[in-house]
Amino acid sequence: MVQMTSFLLVLSLALVAAGQAARKCVLIGNWTNDLGSTMEIKAVNEEGSFNGTYNTSVSATSNKIVPSPLQGYQNCKKESSQPTFGFTVNWNFSDSITVFTGQCFVDKKGKEVLKTMWLLRSHVDNITDDWKATSVGTNIFTRRLPQKV
């Protein structure tokens, strides 16, 4: 009886681990990053194209911050449960643009996480200021759960 119970426990753990490993990370939905910025990614088509909106919580401008459009692509290889992706945000409130690239992961607890790196290109008035026009950084996004009403 003890051997059978041990066997069933090992089998259950293996099935749980296999189920978590096979869980696909999905870009579609609402996300928040480590700085409090939010984005919504809408449907990803068969070619991997998607769009959405990005609302930043950080900015160097004195202009009113409004949500900005994003456009991107996901690698849609069927065997990839943790796809790579990239998207561009065209900021509505400034003369700058940001490109993000990253990968969608499912962590050990089953949570989806987007690990990203970005380049922000700001407008400068002349080529001698080009050296200060590009910033680089990283962000980690987690899925935002629906608000309870």
Query: What's the mean pLDDT in 134-141?
Result: 95
pLDDT tops 90 at residue 149: no
Question: Taking CA 35 as the corner, what is the angle to CA 31 and CA 37, rounded to the nearest 5 degrees?
Answer: 45
Tokens representing residue 102 in the block:
């990253």
Q: What's the confidence (pLDDT) of residue 130?
A: 92
In the chain, what are the domains? Answer: 24-143 (2.40.128.30)
Query: 110: phi > 0 → left, psi -120 to 50 → alpha, else beta; which?
Result: left
Question: Taking CA 57 as the corner, what is the angle to CA 54 and CA 59, rounded to the nearest 5 degrees?
Answer: 100
Q: Residue 3 class from Cβ within 10 Å (0-12 exposed, 13-18 middle, 19+ buried)?
A: exposed
Host H or E run for residue 70: strand 68-74
Cα–Cα dist 79/36, whole Å: 32
Tokens representing residue 148 in the block:
């309870």
SS3 state of residue 148: coil
pLDDT tops 60 at residue 14: no
Nearest CA among 72, 82, 89, 75 for reference residue 37: 89
Amino acid occupying residue 58: V
Q: What's the confidence (pLDDT) of residue 87?
A: 97
Whole-model pTM above 0.75? yes
SS3 state of residue 127: helix
Tokens representing residue 111 in the block:
């949570």
Structure confidence at residue 5 as a pLDDT band (50, 70, 90)? very low
